[in-house]
Amino acid sequence: MELEGRIRKAEFICRCCGECCSGKDNEVMVSPDEIDLLCQATGLTRDQIAEPYPEWIRDGGAVFTFGRVLRRGEDGNCMFLADSKCTVYEHRPHICRTYPFMLDGENLLVFECSGCKSGAETPDAEQMAKDLLARREAEDKEFLLTKEQYQKHSMVLGSTIIFDSRGAHLHK
Ligand code: SF4
Ligand code: SF4
């Protein structure tokens, strides 16, 4: 079945409960382009919006990670969540736009959330299918460019580096 049909049959209707934006497990990976959009929309700096992906890899004397995630408050909630609502809704990243769906190759994964098993077909399935394909294209591009950056930069002992599609960034 084509993607749109599979999404429709997943019977997902967002309840706008904000649960996917709260708690400590809601790591939202954001690309440099997505961070730029959020900077333009909010007037905040890149560092105010995103922090390094928190799984650091140690290799000899160097420490590094790949990409960034949206910052969260001490309660673990996304910094853009207020009264269970997204305050940057029009500019939200691909991951937020497509939750609870994800493509794994050609497979459609559906994460359990309170909007699932609604008993009615998923509305806007066509748009969700487009968003999922756009997400996959953007993530594949980011992955390949980040890999290139990782391969062309040599590690400096004692440095802490964040690799992304735009280069190797020293983390202070
Ligand atoms: S996607 Fe699910 S968890 Fe997130 S706000 Fe909608 S219903 Fe709630
Ligand atoms: S950017 Fe918006 S949709 Fe995404 S996790 Fe934060 S509050 Fe939720």
Residue (of 159, 125, 132) closest to 13 by Cα position:
125
Residue nearest to atom 6 of ligand 1 (CA): 14
Whole-number Å distance, alpha carbon 96 to ligand 2 midpoint, is 6
Residue 105, C-beta contacts closer than 8 angstroms, at least 6 positions apart: none
Q: Which atom, in ligand 2's list, is nearest to the CA of 88? A: 2
Q: Write out the two tokens for 36.
A: 């730029």
> Where is 66: in which H helix or E strand?
strand 62-66
Give the pLDDT score at 172: 79
Sign of CA dihedral 9, 11, 14, 20: negative
Whether 99 lines ligand 2, by a CB cut-off of 6 Å, is: no
Task: Let me know if 167 is exposed, middle or buried by CB neighbors in 10 A (0-12, 13-18, 19+).
Answer: middle
What residues make up the domain containing 128? 3-170
8 A C-beta contact, residue 134 and residue 140: no
What single letter denotes the amino acid at residue 146?
T
Which segments of the chain have a pLDDT < 50? none
- Torsion of the alpha carbons at 45, 49, 51 and 52, rounded to the nearest 10: -80
The pLDDT tens digits of the residues spanning 52-85 come to 999 999 987 889 999 999 999 988 999 999 998 9
Tokens coding 71? 């910052």
φ/ψ of residue 78, rounded to 5: -55, 140
Question: What share of the chain has pLDDT > 70, as a percent?
Answer: 97
Report pLDDT for 24.
Answer: 67
Residue 103: enclosing H or E segment and its boundaries? strand 101-104
Task: Give the chain's domain count.
Answer: 1
* Torsion (CA) 98, 161, 143, 124 in degrees, nearest 10: 10
- The residue whose C-alpha atom lies closest to atom 2 belonging to ligand 2 is 86
